[in-house]
Amino acid sequence: MNRHLPISTTLVTLALALSSFTPAFAQSASSTTAIPPRLELEVNPGETITQEIKVRNETDAVQYYTVFVEDFIVTDQIGTPVPVTEATSGRWSLASWITAPKVIPVDPKQTQVLNLTITAPQNALPGGHYAMITYQPGDPKSGDLKDTGSLIGHRTGTLLYVTVPGDITQDALVKKFSTDKFHEYGPLDFLTIITNLSDIHILPQGQITIKDIFGRAVANLEVDMGNVFPEADRQNITTWNQKWGYGRYSANLELAYGSTGQLLNATIYFWFFPIRIVISILVLIIAILLLTLLLRRRRQFHEQELEQEVEQLRQELENKHKDQPKK
């Protein structure tokens, strides 16, 4: 999706349901719960559908929620949705299709249903269209809004993913799959970055297979990239909790995505070897060998000295015997 945003927009981060990695209920600092945090729908061109979503007031007082309907895009590599204007979102726009109440009151500890009407234009492009429904507590009649525009990150809401069926391009590539070339000890991290070239969000899932120098599979690591939005990148770090390794290893990434299970593959090689421990052991072995050799030479030297002393003593005795007069 379009990643060229005004500075004022890029400074706005949303702490609501973060696409595919949110829990079942999105909870914000204002004690408001959006149900569900994410909703996927399908709408044909020219079709109108209605959809219920809910907002729960977790406080002990009545809350008046101003409802915002905004397009969003994703600009970072962790899937954070950022609200934008329709002009910025362009091809992926959805907000203008949605009709929703402007304000809804919710009693303490109660859940209120919110009815949405979604009308797709006759010329709606096939693929994904994205918007967020967010709630800002306060009484709009008195001008008492508890959050300001600069605090939009405190809103809670539901992300809407609407698919218009048709001729939808589904394509992606592995932008990066890497780890350090050499590891002395674990755990090991593998970085995967996927670029989505599709007309719709994708959800790549699969595994990393690690093989040792003999080609034996020693680990299979599950990889779930989360939703990758159109024209956006998404990164994932997968950890192999192996403490020690010996030799050259390969890591093969295989991910499936799309409606027909397209595959993404990449292979890298790395060394996993406790070099400092091995060097320490080698130094110790060399030291032991040198000490053994030194001790052996010292023993040989002492033996030679003893032999020389014995030979000298023998010669002295012989000479003394020769010097004695014969009887």
Q: Would you state the pLDDT for residue 143?
A: 54
**Do the beta carbons of residue 21 and residue 235 sit within 8 Å?**
no
Round to whole Å and give the CA distance between 35 and 157: 8
Cα 162 to Cα 73, 200, 235, distances in angstroms: 14, 9, 23
Q: Would you state the pLDDT for residue 139?
A: 67
Contacts of 123 (CB under 8 A, 6+ apart): 45
Q: Would you state the pLDDT for residue 209?
A: 98
Beta-strand runs (E) in the chain: 26-27, 32-35, 38-42, 48-57, 63-74, 81-84, 98-99, 103-106, 111-119, 127-139, 144-145, 156-164, 172-178, 182-183, 188-196, 205-211, 217-224, 233-240, 247-257, 262-272
Tokens 């595919």 belong to residue: 20
> Which tens digit of pLDDT belongs to each residue from 197-211?
999 999 999 999 999
Round to whole Å and give the CA distance between 149 and 237: 33
Which of the residues in the chain have pLDDT under 70? 1-30, 86-89, 139-154, 275, 278, 322-327
Q: Would you state the pLDDT for residue 175?
A: 97
